[in-house]
Amino acid sequence: EFSPSKSCDPQNKSHLFTVLRISLPMIKMYRVVSSVFVDVCDHSLNLVSTR
């Protein structure tokens, strides 16, 4: 069950902050990896199309 007082709990806030601190670098890393992946895909597509 959901209680409004629980969401205002400082303990819960710090937990949220920890989750954010962990997920933000992961999101950044994911974006970097995906952009590299797209680059590699583009490159290999170009290689295939030139043949």
For 15-50, what is each residue's pLDDT tens digit? 889 999 999 999 999 999 999 999 999 999 988 887
Tokens of 12: 């819960």
Total of domains in the chain: 1
Q: For the chain, state the CA radius of gyration.
A: 21
How sure is the predictor about 11, in pLDDT bands with cuts at 50, 70 and 90?
confident
Residue 7 lies in a domain: no
Residue 14 lies in a domain: no
SS3 call for 2: coil
Alpha-carbon span 25 to 30, nearest angstrom: 8
Residue 29 lies in a domain: yes
pLDDT at 35: 96
Domain that holds residue 38: 24-50
pLDDT at 33: 96
Residue 32 lies in a domain: yes
Tokens of 1: 């069950």
Residue 34 lies in a domain: yes
Contact call for residues 36 and 29 (beta carbons, < 8 A): no
Q: What is the pTM of this model?
A: 0.50
